[in-house]
């Protein structure tokens, strides 16, 4: 789809990507800063966007800042972190109305970009560091956020599995950082870290909407004056790791439903030729309501409401998740393992193959209607060092055979089985 290609320019570790399109009534701006996922960076990396989004020189507290956004027709702004393989990405997001659809014709895009520039480069300071009160409040909020991970049992089980499975790899780390490190972070240390981040790590800026590329790029350069110097080369995410033996971890919690999660290594990364085949593998196994896991664990055996698999794209992991009665552990595990064996033997019906091709292709085409998803797909390609167009992926999907999927399946091995069971219930 040629109408959806980015106009990109890269210089000194700072890249600008603009996508002009008339599809949306708003303009979306995304700024991504890439940090390696490391124990000594991750906690400050998580705290930094939270502090920056709470106030700037001109809008010194959250109420001020929010009132300004409200006056820009309720522009949506947030900042945070996400994990992409062994990278921690600090992300700033702004979505602002296009004045074409308003009775007021004030040029909102420039106001929006200027605001983002202030958040990034003119933070609220006191005595040459971040404001202590803000840092203290955000330290507490981050602590609570990490402690609150357990509130969502599905996510909690997945994080516990990841920690166990990747205990000697950076991928074990939560994007929110390490709780025990939070108390030691001072406003001064965080400010020094902030300066280091802006100077030394790769930045990607995206603008998607009804904009003129040259003008939008100029606005970014003018209002977000980042001057990186000596941007670091980051190590690639490692996704090849032999499995010595299958591990089983069982934990107890006062829950009504047991969570059976299984982590597998696929030895396949986003840049590999086999990656699209791996997407097909995941689709046939557990990506959709017609997939093997849904059909067999849920529809046939009636053991679960959800039984799915998903890929951790950059890390080459495939994670199975299901919620079951604690007493049904053996039954559910046996059914899941049987599906995995069938995948290895290439026991895939024509119907499964064709349905997966159709739904996976549809899912990918649908991303074209969402500005954030369009940027995300481009960014994933940049992170992995291999960008594929949507057409290229769709073409590879259409050409995938059962043998291709079985070949990928041969490489997939269970690393760790994690079971979160209800307290005092028989297994």
- Which residues 283-322 are close enough to bind other proteins by CB under 8 A? 288-290, 295, 298-299, 302-306
Tokens representing residue 102 in the block: 């308003």
Tokens representing residue 2 in the block: 């040629």
Buried/exposed code over 191-202 (b: 16+ C-beta within 10 A; e: otherwise): bebbeebbeebb
Measured between alpha carbons, how far is 280 from 76 in angstroms, rounded to an integer? 35
Binding part of the chain for other proteins, among 22-30, 118-126, 164-172, 261-269 by CB under 8 A, reads 22-30
Measured from the CB atom, the residue of 72 and 409 that comes closer to other proteins is: 72
Measured from the CB atom, the residue of 4 and 271 that comes closer to other proteins is: 4
Q: Which of 180, 369, 391, 395 binds other proteins (CB under 8 A)?
A: 369
Q: Which of 15, 26, 88, 267 binds other proteins (CB under 8 A)?
A: 26
Burial class (CB in 10 A: 0-12, 13-18, 19+), 24: middle
What residues numbered 119-138 form the site for other proteins, per CB under 8 A? 133, 137
Which is nearest to 251 in space by CA: 418, 426, 415? 418
Binding track over 249-278 against other proteins, x by CB under 8 A = ----xxxxx---------------------
Number of residues that bind other proteins (CB under 8 A): 75
Least CB distance to other proteins at residue 285 (A): 14
Residue 162 half-sphere exposure, CB side, CA atoms within 13 Å? 23
Measured from the CB atom, the residue of 125 and 295 that comes closer to other proteins is: 295
Cβ–Cβ < 8 Å for 235, 404: no
Backbone angle region of 340, left / alpha / beta, with phi > 0 → left and psi within -120 to 50 → alpha: alpha
Q: CB 1: neighbour CB atoms within 10 A?
A: 9
Sequence-separated (6 or more) residues with CB below 8 Å from residue 229:
12, 199, 200
Q: In whole angstroms, how far apart are CA 257 and each of 253, 327, 421?
A: 10, 10, 7
Measured between alpha carbons, how far is 268 from 146 in angstroms, rounded to an integer? 30
Q: Which of 73, 114, 393, 425 binds other proteins (CB under 8 A)?
A: 73
DSSP 213-269: HHHHHHHHHHHS-----SPPPPPPPP------S-EEEEEEES-SSEEEEEEEE----
211 in contact with other proteins (CB under 8 A): no
What residues numbered 145-204 form the site for other proteins, per CB under 8 A? 145-154
Measured from the CB atom, the residue of 270 and 288 that comes closer to other proteins is: 288
Measured from the CB atom, the residue of 2 and 40 that comes closer to other proteins is: 2
67 in contact with other proteins (CB under 8 A): yes
Measured from the CB atom, the residue of 168 and 302 that comes closer to other proteins is: 302
Measured between alpha carbons, how far is 25 from 7 in angstroms, rounded to an integer? 20
Measured from the CB atom, the residue of 125 and 146 that comes closer to other proteins is: 146
Least CB distance to other proteins at residue 289 (A): 4
Measured from the CB atom, the residue of 331 and 382 that comes closer to other proteins is: 331
373 in contact with other proteins (CB under 8 A): no
What residues numbered 1-20 form the site for other proteins, per CB under 8 A? 1
75 in contact with other proteins (CB under 8 A): yes
What residues numbered 344-363 form the site for other proteins, per CB under 8 A? 351, 354-356, 358-359, 361-363
Beta partners for residue 123, in sequence order: 56
323 in contact with other proteins (CB under 8 A): yes
* Torsion angle (degrees, nearest 10) of CA 377, 378, 382, 388: 80
Measured from the CB atom, the residue of 102 and 192 that comes closer to other proteins is: 102
225 in contact with other proteins (CB under 8 A): no
What residues numbered 326-345 form the site for other proteins, per CB under 8 A? none
Pairing of strands 304-312, 87-97: unpaired
What residues numbered 79-98 form the site for other proteins, per CB under 8 A? 95-97
25 in contact with other proteins (CB under 8 A): yes
Least CB distance to other proteins at residue 412 (A): 22
């Amino acid at each position: 789809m040629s109408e959806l290609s980015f106009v990109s320019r890269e210089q000194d570790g700072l890249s600008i990507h603009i996508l002009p399109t008339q599809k949306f009534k708003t303009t979306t701006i995304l700024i991504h800063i890439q940090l390696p996922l490391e124990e000594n960076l991750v906690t400050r990396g998580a705290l930094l966007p939270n502090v920056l989004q709470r106030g700037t020189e001109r809008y010194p507290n959250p109420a001020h800042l929010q009132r300004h956004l409200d006056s820009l027709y309720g522009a949506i702004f947030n900042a945070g972190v996400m994990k992409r393989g062994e990278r921690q990405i600090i992300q700033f997001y702004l979505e602002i109305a296009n004045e074409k659809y308003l009775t007021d014709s004030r040029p909102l895009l420039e106001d929006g970009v200027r605001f983002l520039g202030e958040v990034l480069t003119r933070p609220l300071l006191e005595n040459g560091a971040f404001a202590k009160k803000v840092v203290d409040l955000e330290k507490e909020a981050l602590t609570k956020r990490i402690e609150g991970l357990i509130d969502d049992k599905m996510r909690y089980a997945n994080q516990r599995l990841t920690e166990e499975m990747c205990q000697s790899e950076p991928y074990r780390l939560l994007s929110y950082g390490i709780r025990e490190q939070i108390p030691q972070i001072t406003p001064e240390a965080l400010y020094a870290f902030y300066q280091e981040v802006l100077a030394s790590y790769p930045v990607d800026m995206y603008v998607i909407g009804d904009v003129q590329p040259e003008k939008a790029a100029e606005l970014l350069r003018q209002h977000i004056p980042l001057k990186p110097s000596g941007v670091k080369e980051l190590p690639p995410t490692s996704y090849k790791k032999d499995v010595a033996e299958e591990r089983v971890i069982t934990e107890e919690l006062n829950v009504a439903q047991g969570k059976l999660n299984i982590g597998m290594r696929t030895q396949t990364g986003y840049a590999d030729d086999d990656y699209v085949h791996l997407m097909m593998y995941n689709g046939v196994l557990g990506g959709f309501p017609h997939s093997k896991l849904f059909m067999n664990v849920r529809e046939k055996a009636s053991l679960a409401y959800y039984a799915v698999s998903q890929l951790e794209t950059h890390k080459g992991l495939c994670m199975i998740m299901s919620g079951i009665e604690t007493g049904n552990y053996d039954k559910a595990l046996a059914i899941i393992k049987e599906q995995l064996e069938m995948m290895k033997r290439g026991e895939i019906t024509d119907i499964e193959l064709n349905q997966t091709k159709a739904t996976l292709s549809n899912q990918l085409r649908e991303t074209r209607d969402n500005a954030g998803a369009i940027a995300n797909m481009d960014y994933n390609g940049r992170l992995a060092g291999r960008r594929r167009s949507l057409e290229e992926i769709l073409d590879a999907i259409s050409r995938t055979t059962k043998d291709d999927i079985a070949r990928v399946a041969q490489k997939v091995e269970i690393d760790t089985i994690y079971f979160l069971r209800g307290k005092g219930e028989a297994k």
